[in-house]
């Protein structure tokens, strides 16, 4: 079991900050780095007690994709603060034992990036081949150029945009304002690696790699096979040529060697589509890969049980997974999981989901606001900011990611303690009651449940790193698993239903004592702990009481 300090990426909890929405210090309605620094105590050892923060992009950006269109990878967006603010953030986070992970967007840049400005200017300048430029496949009868292949933008339409200056198309897997870099050009890699080294030198502890498995494309840019009907145009192709190329492994090794030059640094790759097998294949020591299979499940024991088994089978005992139930691209878990069933209580489900997140095998990634059970915020289409949401329609079905990016409510009152100005996007309607201050004062809140769970993890390392086994709870609506290390064992029971559930887990030996759970009071534990009856949506973490014999042995 990994217990040394440098294995924090395995034992710790990573908290995702969406900086625009976390805390605004200057009243412009947009969250910033000084605002984040001012709220570090919420995250530090006297608050939630997380181990690292991952910051969604904080670099200068025209903001077409809210920071995922980077105009300078080595600088701080003035909207977010200054260079000095960033260095202070790293210092102040480290002082509280919090590591800092940056979001590296290296598949593409903004079209406002000086590299792209140079590249688009001519076919034979120094940066001419830093992006993927191609001649038209042909011309239509009207003389208009046809794109080089059938590739699609994930955000809708063709992945190719015509650039009259060069008389060529350029490739963009996302928006036209996000041209894809040419990773096969060594100078591009060298420039990106030097940026990575620069951030490491500034004390950054790790990186999240945006859509890393799309860095390389088929060298001949062959069209993707078409599979026919699917609601989203993107799903009508098999994406064998625009991502997941075999020679990517070599480039990842190059990148990882740079990160590995420094002790205790890590990375986590954002898998751009693909299941747990693909995620496991790309995973290596100190380099995690998101597996989004849990995020895609309905709130049922059957669905989660199947997904957990598939992950465990894919990763096996030697590869370390991540646990992700939400992020800045998906519906929030209280809304997504909590409103599926009629009369379900989203807060109760949010607490049970917290137990799942914090006790499965893998590094938990907790998205800001989930710790207070934030809901998706309905943004009227007239206020939509997310670019694909603005162009969504029957021919391009798309969900609105604005809904999961609403400002963090810190306290009751106007601006919810997030800003003294007008928030860049709507606050949730319940911010007067659903905020950090109110929940900190309520021992039964979602926040206090998270705090208790994180404390239990810190006090019981087996919960973080122990071997994982799923066991039969004796009840189809209740999932059960154990985490074990030597004589130490934890037992987790999660009731997925709104009804009481009697459980008599098979194959475990107590006696058990409660470590943490969704409820402040414990279910009636018989002597020895089992069998017991869980209350609706109740989840408990039990620890095996070490007998005198076991302790002396
Ligand atoms: C994945 C990010 O999570 C998403 O927010 C972004 O729009 C795309 N990559 C493009 O960078």
| 210 is known as an active-site residue | yes
pLDDT of residue 528: 77
Report DSSP letters for 520-538, one per residue: SSPP-PPTTS-SEEEPTT-
Residue 255's nearest CA partner among 333, 313, 304, 190 is: 190
* Nearest atom of ligand 1 to the alpha carbon of 155: 7
pLDDT of residue 530: 85
Residue 273 is among the residues annotated as catalytic for this protein: no
Atom of ligand 1 nearest to the CA of 329: 5
133-156: average pLDDT: 97
Tell the residue nearest (CA) to atom 3 of ligand 1.
329
Q: What is the helix (H) or strand (E) element at residue 14, kind and residue range?
A: strand 14-17
Q: Residue 541: name the closest of 440, 475, 462 by CA.
A: 462
Q: Residue 293: is its pLDDT beyond 90? A: yes
Res 340 pLDDT > 70: no
**Tell me, what's the pLDDT at 387?**
92
Average pLDDT rounded to a whole number, residues 199-207 = 98
* Spatial distance between the Cα atoms of 60 and 62, rounded to a whole number of angstroms: 7
pTM score of the predicted model: 0.97
DSSP 8-state assignment for residue 213: G
Residue 553: pLDDT band with limits 50, 70, 90: very low
User: Would you say 23 and 14 are in contact if contact means Cβ atoms under 8 Å apart?
Assistant: no
Say what percent of the chain tops pLDDT 70.
97
Which letter does DSSP use for residue 406 in this model?
P
Q: In testing the pocket of ligand 1, which one of 66, 174, 179 has its CB within 8 Å of the most ligand atoms? A: 174
Containing 192, the helix (H) or strand (E) segment is helix 186-201
Nearest to 295 by CA among 353, 240, 349, 221: 353
User: Average pLDDT, stretch 197-220?
Assistant: 98
Question: In 3-state terms, what secondary structure has residue 323?
Answer: strand
Cα separation, 163 vs 274, in Å, equals 32
Active-site choice (247, 261, 298, 430):
261
- The count of C-alpha atoms lying within 13 angstroms of the C-alpha of 492, restricted to the half-sphere facing its C-beta, is 28
Q: What is the pLDDT of residue 343?
A: 66
**Residue 2 has what pLDDT?**
43
Residue 421 has pLDDT above 60, yes or no: yes
Weakest-pLDDT range from 19-28, 82-91, 531-540, 543-552: 543-552
Among 446, 388, 28, smallest CA distance to 178 is for: 388
> Cα–Cα distance between 74 and 55 in angstroms, integer?
15
pLDDT at site 254: 97
Ordered DSSP codes for 97-126 = T-EEEEEE--SB--TTSHHHHHHHH-SSST
Tell me the C-alpha distance between 269 and 272, whole Å.
9
Rounded to the nearest whole angstrom, what is the distance from the C-alpha of residue 258 to the centroid of ligand 1?
A: 24
Q: Which of 185, 206, 61 is nearest to 126 (CA)?
A: 185
Q: Residue 515 C-alpha to ligand 1 middle, in angstroms?
A: 37
pLDDT bracket for residue 519 (50, 70, 90): very high
pLDDT at 552: 36
Is pLDDT of 459 > 80? yes
Mean predicted confidence (pLDDT) in 123-134 = 97
Tokens 């999981």 belong to: 337
Task: Kindly tell me if the per-residue pLDDT of 133 is higher than 80.
Answer: yes
Residue 66: phi and psi, rounded to 5, are 45, 50
pLDDT of 1 above 70: no
How many Cα atoms within 13 Å fall on the side-chain side of residue 392? 17
d(CA 88, CA 408): 22
Rounded Cα gap, residues 323 and 464, in angstroms: 12
Distance 277 CA to ligand 1 centre (A): 21
CA dihedral for 38, 42, 47, 50, sign (positive or negative): negative
Nearest alpha-carbon partner for 240 in 268, 269, 274, 210: 274
pLDDT at 3 over 60: no
pLDDT band at 551 (very low <50, low <70, confident <90, very high): very low
Share of the chain above pLDDT 90, in %: 90
Q: Taking 60 as the threshold, does the pLDDT of residue 367 lie above it?
A: yes
- Do 113 and 171 form a contact (C-beta atoms < 8 A)? no
As a 3-state breakdown, the chain gives helix, strand, coil percent values, each rounded to 5, of 30, 20, 50
Q: What pLDDT is attached to residue 399? A: 87
Nearest C-alpha to atom 11 of ligand 1 is from which residue? Answer: 68
Give the number of other Cβ atoms within 10 Å of residue 520's Cβ: 12
- Ramachandran bin of 91, using left for φ above 0, alpha for ψ from -120 to 50, beta for the remaining angles: alpha
Encoded tokens for 116: 């792209």
Q: What is the mean pLDDT of residues 173-201?
A: 98
Spot the catalytic one: 32, 111, 205, 210.
210
What pLDDT shows up at residue 525? 77
- Mapping DSSP onto H, E and C, the string for 324-360 reads ECCCCCCCCHHHHHHCCCCCCCHHHHHHHHHHHHHHC
Q: What is the overall mean pLDDT for the chain?
A: 95
Q: For position 397, what pLDDT does the model report?
A: 87
Q: What is the pLDDT of residue 540?
A: 97
**Which atom, in ligand 1's list, is nearest to the CA of 272?**
1
pLDDT tens, residue by residue, 42-62: 999 999 999 999 999 999 999
Provide the pLDDT for residue 548: 52
- Interatomic CA distance for residues 367 and 208, integer angstroms: 14
Average pLDDT score over residue span 75-92: 98
Secondary structure of residue 198 in the 3-state scheme: helix
Q: Three-state SS string across 252-281, please?
A: HHHHHHHHHCCCCCEEEECCCCCCHHHHHH
Asked if 76 and 59 count as a contact pair (C-beta separation under 8 A), the reply is yes
| Mean pLDDT score, 220-241 | 94
Which amino acids bring their CB within 6 angstroms of ligand 1?
65, 68, 105, 174, 210-211, 270, 328-329
For residue 158, give the DSSP letter: B
pLDDT value of position 172 = 98
For 295-331, what is each residue's pLDDT tens digit?
Answer: 999 999 999 999 999 999 999 999 999 999 999 999 9
According to DSSP, the residues that pair with 495 across neighbouring strands are 478
Between CA 24 and CA 27 the distance in angstroms is 6
What average pLDDT does the segment 335-340 reach?
Answer: 85
Q: List the single range of 334-348, 381-395, 472-486 with lowest mean pLDDT.
A: 334-348
């Amino acid at each position: 079991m990994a217990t040394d300090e440098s294995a924090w990426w395995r034992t710790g909890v990573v908290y995702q900050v969406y900086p625009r929405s976390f805390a605004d210090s200057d009243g412009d309605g947009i969250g910033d780095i000084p605002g984040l620094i001012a709220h570090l105590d919420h995250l530090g050892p006297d608050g939630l007690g997380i181990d690292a923060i991952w910051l969604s992009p904080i670099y200068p950006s025209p903001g077409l994709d809210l920071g995922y269109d980077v105009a300078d990878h080595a600088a701080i967006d003035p909207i977010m603060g200054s260079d000095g603010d960033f260095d202070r953030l790293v210092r102040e986070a480290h002082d509280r034992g919090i590591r800092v992970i940056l979001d590296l967007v290296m598949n593409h840049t903004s079209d406002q990036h000086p590299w792209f400005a140079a590249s688009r200017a001519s076919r034979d300048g120094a940066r001419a081949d830093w992006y993927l430029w191609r001649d038209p496949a042909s011309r239509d009868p009207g003389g208009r150029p046809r794109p080089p292949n059938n590739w699609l933008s994930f955000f809708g339409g063709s992945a190719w945009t015509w650039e009259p200056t060069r008389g060529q198309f350029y490739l963009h897997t996302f928006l036209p304002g996000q041209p894809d870099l040419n990773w096969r050009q060594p100078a591009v890699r060298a420039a990106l690696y030097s940026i990575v080294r620069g951030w490491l030198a500034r004390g950054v502890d790790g990186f999240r790699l945006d859509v890393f498995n799309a860095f390389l494309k088929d060298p001949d840019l062959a069209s993707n096979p078409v599979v026919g009907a699917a609601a989203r145009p993107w799903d009508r192709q098999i994406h064998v040529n625009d991502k997941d190329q075999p020679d990517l492994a070599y480039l990842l090794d190059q990148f990882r060697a740079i990160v590995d030059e420094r002790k205790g640094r890590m990375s986590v790759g954002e898998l751009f589509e693909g299941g747990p097998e693909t995620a496991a294949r790309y995973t290596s020591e100190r380099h995690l890969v998101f597996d989004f299979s849990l995020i895609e499940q309905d709130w049922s024991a059957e669905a989660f049980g199947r997904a957990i088994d598939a992950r465990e089978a894919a990763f096996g005992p030697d590869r370390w997974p991540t646990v992700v139930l939400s992020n800045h691209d998906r519906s929030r878990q209280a809304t997504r999981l909590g409103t599926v069933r009629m009369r379900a209580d989203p807060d109760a489900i949010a607490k049970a989901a917290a137990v799942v997140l914090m006790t499965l095998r893998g590094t938990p990634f907790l998205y800001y606001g989930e710790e207070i059970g934030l809901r998706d915020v309905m943004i009227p289409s007239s206020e939509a900011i997310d670019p694909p949401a603005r162009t969504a329609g029957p021919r391009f079905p798309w969900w609105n990611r604005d809904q999961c990016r609403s400002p963090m409510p810190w306290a009751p009152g106007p601006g919810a303690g997030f800003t003294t100005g007008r928030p860049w996007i709507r606050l949730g309607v319940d911010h007067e009651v659903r905020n950090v201050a109110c929940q900190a004062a309520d021992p039964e809140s979602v926040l206090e449940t998270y705090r208790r769970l994180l404390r239990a993890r810190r006090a019981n390392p087996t919960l973080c790193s122990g071997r994982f086994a799923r066991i039969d709870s004796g009840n189809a609506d209740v999932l059960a698993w154990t985490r074990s290390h030597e004589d130490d064992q934890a037992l987790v029971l999660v009731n997925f239903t709104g009804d009481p559930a009697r459980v008599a887990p098979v194959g475990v030996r107590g006696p058990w004592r409660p470590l943490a759970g969704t409820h402040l009071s414990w279910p009636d534990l018989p002597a020895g702990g089992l069998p017991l009856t869980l209350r609706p949506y109740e989840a408990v973490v039990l620890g095996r009481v070490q007998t005198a014999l076991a302790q002396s042995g």
